[in-house]
């Protein structure tokens, strides 16, 4: 008999953020090491992680944060802004993955400087998004305006 998975929780979100932080660190190391790129197997893992963040984590984060009781998490307006941020980040992720593979294949669409900029924008944006969501989680564990 198939078992149902438990719904994602705040702990799930924090676990996702730990994975995302590691990815940001890895992407920063790639940017710092340009023009040299990691081996193809490492590139595949990085690209898979980028796409996992945008296809799985973004929707899950919105569901988790949206399930917090009123006054214990982000408002509807804040959730809408987060969704818009996620949509933009997903487009950036797709562009970044395409550019990483273009560089790996020796047919870059842009220069190394452009790839470095794309990498930095993605991991800086990821770190900012984590900080924003975790500020809501902190507030989500107690009524808004209540001291920690």
For residues 9-34, average pLDDT = 96
Instruction: Calculate the alpha carbon distances from 53 to 9, 13, 77 in Å.
Output: 17, 11, 23
Name the nearest CA neighbour of 94 among 134, 64, 138, 58.
58
Q: What is the pLDDT of residue 122?
A: 97
Helices 58-66 and 112-140 meet at what angle, rounded to 10? 20
87 within domain boundaries: yes
| Confidence grade of residue 141 (pLDDT, cut at 50, 70, 90) | low
Lowest average pLDDT, out of 42-46, 54-58, 70-74, 113-117, goes to 70-74
73 within domain boundaries: yes
Over the stretch 99-124, which tens digit does the pLDDT of each residue have? 999 999 988 888 999 999 999 999 99
Range of the domain at 120: 10-140
**Using an 8 Å Cβ cutoff, are 31 and 103 in contact?**
no
Name the nearest CA neighbour of 50 among 24, 31, 32.
24
Domain count, the chain: 1
3 within domain boundaries: no
What distance in Å separates the CA atoms of residue 102 and residue 81, rounded to the nearest whole number? Answer: 32
What distance in Å separates the CA atoms of residue 141 and residue 86, rounded to the nearest whole number? Answer: 23
145 within domain boundaries: no
Q: What is the pLDDT of residue 99?
A: 95
146 within domain boundaries: no
5 within domain boundaries: no
Tokens of 83: 């969704």
Q: What is the pLDDT of residue 109?
A: 82
Radius of gyration for the alpha carbons in the chain, expressed in angstroms and rounded: 17
82 within domain boundaries: yes
| Confidence grade of residue 41 (pLDDT, cut at 50, 70, 90) | very high
């Amino acid at each position: 008999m198939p078992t149902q998975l438990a719904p994602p929780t705040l702990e799930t979100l924090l676990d996702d953020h730990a994975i995302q932080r590691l990815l940001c660190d890895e992407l920063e190391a790639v940017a710092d090491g340009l023009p040299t790129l990691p081996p193809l197997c490492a590139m595949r893992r990085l690209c898979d992680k980028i796409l996992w963040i945008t296809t799985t984590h973004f929707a899950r984060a919105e569901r988790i944060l949206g399930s917090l009781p009123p006054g214990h998490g982000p408002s509807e307006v804040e959730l809408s802004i987060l969704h818009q941020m996620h949509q933009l980040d997903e487009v950036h992720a797709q562009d970044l993955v395409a550019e990483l593979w273009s560089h790996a294949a020796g047919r870059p669409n842009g220069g190394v400087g452009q790839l470095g900029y794309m990498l930095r924008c993605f991991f800086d944006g990821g770190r900012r998004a984590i900080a924003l969501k975790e500020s809501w989680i902190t507030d989500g564990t107690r009524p808004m305006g209540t001291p920690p």
